[in-house]
């Protein structure tokens, strides 16, 4: 008779083990996956999880309206910080497009970062096996999803780079073409003080809310609402090496490092736009 509780315990342990598997288990954990659980999942490094404090992924994605059945395009996801959250979350019921750098890009770092991203998704097919990578390199490569197919396009801290390249209008036009009528464009960007010139935006990496709204409107988007989820009142946006003075870049090295660590990551706008219905 003693074998019965032992067998039961073994079964219980096996069941617990199955329930504790990674997101690859389509019949267990995947059914209960939430943005909260995936944002803290063990597939993410400790360093990336630690940045949740500054990037507020749960609140940000909820503000934009992300659901598990969303067809979403992430614009230039870099090495995949947000992709680690979004792609597994929509894996089973939605669709994730990574509109990434082109291997044909003139800037040498772009193909390298694309390679890092591709290695990440290849190494974990259970999480990223359904990711579709498209290349975004205006004016040569601009089709990032089938026309009017996506529910949402999100971009995180990229607009300043497009302004520097004088391609911001081409990028926004690409998002507009890919989104369904009624689709959402979400923008998170380092926030400059009102009235900051375009040249200072290029030099500092900080962009005014007014300019982002102007570029979005020129592409055809309508502004919906903003949020202060990613605001940081300690950031004065006037540092010696621009936004890159602050963590995680610390472009000034050890000079005043404690001062900039105390400020934290940049003050950021969080803006939601929509593509009008026809």
| pLDDT one-digit tens code per residue, 228-278 | 999 999 999 999 999 999 999 999 999 999 999 999 999 999 999 999 997
CB 72 within 8 A of CB 152: yes
With H, G, I as helix, E, B as strand and everything else as coil, classify residue 205.
Answer: coil
CB 235 within 8 A of CB 245: no
CA-CA distance, 104 to 118, in Å (whole number)? 15
Q: Determine the average pLDDT of the residues in 165-186.
A: 98
| pLDDT one-digit tens code per residue, 226-242 | 999 999 999 999 999 99
> Which residue has tokens 């935006």?
201
User: Which tokens sit at 254?
Assistant: 């050890």
Q: Where are the domains of the chain?
A: 1-32, 45-274
pLDDT at 108: 87
Out of 21-25, 205-209, 214-218, 237-241, which region has the weakest mean confidence (pLDDT)? Answer: 21-25
**Best CA proximity match to 245, nearest among 262, 264, 260, 230:** 260
Residue 197 contacts by C-beta under 8 Å, 6 or more apart in sequence? none
pLDDT at 11: 37
Q: Determine the average pLDDT of the residues in 214-227.
A: 98
CA-CA distance, 202 to 160, in Å (whole number)? 6
The kind and range of the H/E element at 227 are: strand 222-227
Chain centroid to CA 113: how far? 15
CA-CA distance, 186 to 74, in Å (whole number)? 10
CB 117 within 8 A of CB 78: yes
CA-CA distance, 98 to 81, in Å (whole number)? 12
pLDDT at 25: 46
Q: Is 60 exceeded by the pLDDT of residue 135?
A: yes
Domain 45-274 homologous superfamily, CATH: Vaccinia Virus protein VP39 (3.40.50.150)
What's the count of helices (H) and strands (E) in the chain, helices before strands?
13, 7
Residue 275 contacts by C-beta under 8 Å, 6 or more apart in sequence? 176, 179, 180, 181, 182, 183, 185, 220, 221, 222
pTM for this one? 0.88
Chain centroid to CA 193: how far? 24
Outline where the chain has alpha helix (H).
3-19, 35-39, 46-50, 52-55, 57-64, 83-90, 109-123, 125-128, 159-164, 168-178, 198-204, 209-219, 257-263
pLDDT at 23: 43
CA-CA distance, 257 to 266, in Å (whole number)? 15
What percentage of residues in the chain have a pLDDT greater than 70? Answer: 88
CA-CA distance, 247 to 253, in Å (whole number)? 10
pLDDT at 32: 57
pLDDT at 15: 37
């Amino acid at each position: 008779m003693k074998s019965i509780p032992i067998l039961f315990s073994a079964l219980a342990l096996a069941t617990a083990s199955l329930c504790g598997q990674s997101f690859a288990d389509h019949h267990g954990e995947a059914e209960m996956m939430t943005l909260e659980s995936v944002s803290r999942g063990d597939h993410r490094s400790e360093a990336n999880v630690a940045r949740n404090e500054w990037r507020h992924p749960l609140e940000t994605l909820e503000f934009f309206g992300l659901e598990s059945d969303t067809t979403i395009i992430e614009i230039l996801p870099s090495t995949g910080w947000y992709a680690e959250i979004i792609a597994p979350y929509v894996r089973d019921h939605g669709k994730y497009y990574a509109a990434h750098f082109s291997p044909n890009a003139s800037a040498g770092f772009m193909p390298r970062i694309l390679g890092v991203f591709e290695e990440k998704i290849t190494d974990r097919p259970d999480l990223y096996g359904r990711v579709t990578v498209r290349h975004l390199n205006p004016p040569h490569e601009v089709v990032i999803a089938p026309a009017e197919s996506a529910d949402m396009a999100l971009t995180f801290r990229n607009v300043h780079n497009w302004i520097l390249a004088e391609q911001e209008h081409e990028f926004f036009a690409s998002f507009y073409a890919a989104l369904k009528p009624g689709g959402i464009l979400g923008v998170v960007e380092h926030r400059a003080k009102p009235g900051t010139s375009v040249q200072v935006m290029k030099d500092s990496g900080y962009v005014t809310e007014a300019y982002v709204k102007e570029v979005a409107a020129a592409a055809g988007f309508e502004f919906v609402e903003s949020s202060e989820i990613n605001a940081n009142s300690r950031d004065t946006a006037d540092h010696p090496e621009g936004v890159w003075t602050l963590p995680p870049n610390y472009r000034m090295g050890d000079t005043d490092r404690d001062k900039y660590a105390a400020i934290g990551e940049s003050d950021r706008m969080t803006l939601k736009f929509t593509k009008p219905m026809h």
